[in-house]
């Protein structure tokens, strides 16, 4: 064993750690236990995994939303809202692994475990699937381009009449990061550029709210869309 250039005790420890994972999976339980969930447009959901607890260290938890790893999200619990996810089907994965220094390689991923939730987000109340209400039909928020992007992207939207437009950027936890625009604008197509060089790679959500000038009505959410920053 000395030919492996590792002290004997370390090799034995790694072998012992691997043997443990052949008998016990890294994830002991999860909440909710159901793997398929449905959210209305105003609901939130809290997802939790309970990793096994070795005596000398903690296991690493990583979260993925629709295949995109979430930066700085290593807590065993994550809370997501329908607004953050957007209408449609989404895959949420919690991956637990052992990052101890004793584990040199894990080619067969024996020391990893993952669990998956499928979340269906219903369209906003009063708007049937595949369509929009007559009131919102005249407003439009386009998908940003390019997407994925690094580090600049352009967002376009359309206003049918003069209104105050507010375009904001949020992280996947719903926290507002940037206010790109908040001003009264004429009817027509408008574009805004976002330079995200100060932000880490990951999934972001952008929201458009409008405040019609003529009616002085409260602001209405036109749409929320997702975009991916890849550095």
* Both structure tokens of 106: 């894990």
Cβ(100)–Cβ(17) under 8 Å? Answer: yes
Question: What DSSP state is assigned to residue 32?
Answer: S
- For 25, residues 6+ apart whose C-beta sits below 8 A from its C-beta are 52, 113
Q: What is the pTM of this model?
A: 0.50
CA count, 13 A, side-chain hemisphere, 82: 17
Determine the Cα–Cα distance for residues 15 and 86; give it in Å rounded to an integer. Answer: 45
Place of tokens 């369209």: 123
Question: What DSSP state is assigned to residue 19?
Answer: H
CA nearest to 74, candidates 54, 55, 99, 39:
99
Strands 112-121 and 36-39: parallel
Beta bridge partners of 29: 50
Question: What DSSP state is assigned to residue 4?
Answer: G
pLDDT (tens, 9 = 90+) of the chain, 231 residues, equals: 444 455 556 666 666 666 655 556 778 889 999 888 888 877 889 999 988 776 666 788 888 887 777 766 678 898 888 777 777 778 888 888 876 655 555 544 556 788 888 888 876 554 434 333 334 446 788 888 888 899 999 888 888 888 889 999 998 888 899 999 999 998 888 889 999 999 999 899 999 888 877 655 555 666 788 899 998
Cβ(168)–Cβ(206) under 8 Å? Answer: yes
Task: Return the sign of the alpha-carbon dihedral for residues 106, 107, 108, 112.
Answer: positive
**Is residue 10 within a helix (H) or strand (E), and if so which, with residue range?**
helix 8-23
CA count, 13 A, side-chain hemisphere, 215: 9
Cβ(60)–Cβ(94) under 8 Å? Answer: no
Place of tokens 């574009």: 191
What domains can be seen in the chain, in order of their start residue? 2-121 (2.60.40.10), 140-229 (2.60.40.4070)
């Amino acid at each position: 064993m000395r030919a492996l250039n590792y002290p004997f005790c370390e090799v034995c420890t790694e072998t012992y750690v691997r043997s443990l994972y052949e008998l016990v999976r890294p994830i002991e339980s999860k909440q909710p236990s159901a793997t398929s969930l449905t959210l209305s447009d105003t609901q939130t959901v809290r997802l939790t995994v309970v990793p096994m607890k070795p005596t000398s260290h903690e296991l690493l938890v990583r979260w993925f939303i629709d295949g995109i790893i979430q930066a700085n999200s290593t807590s065993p619990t994550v809370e997501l809202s329908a607004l953050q996810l957007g209408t449609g089907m989404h895959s949420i994965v919690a991956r637990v692994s052992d990052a101890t220094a004793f584990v040199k390689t894990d080619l067969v991923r024996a020391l990893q475990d993952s669990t998956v939730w499928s979340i269906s987000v219903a369209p906003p109340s009063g708007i049937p699937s595949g369509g929009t209400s007559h009131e919102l039909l005249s407003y439009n928020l386009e998908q940003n381009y390019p997407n994925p992007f690094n580090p600049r992207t352009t967002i376009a939207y359309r206003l049918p009449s003069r209104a105050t437009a507010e375009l904001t950027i949020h992280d996947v936890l719903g926290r507002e990061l940037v206010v790109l625009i908040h001003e009264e604008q004429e009817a027509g197509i408008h574009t805004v550029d976002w330079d995200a060089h100060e932000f880490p790679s990951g999934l972001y959500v952008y929201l458009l709210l409008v405040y019609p000038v003529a009616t002085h009505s409260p602001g209405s959410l036109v749409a929320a869309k997702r975009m991916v920053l890849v550095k």
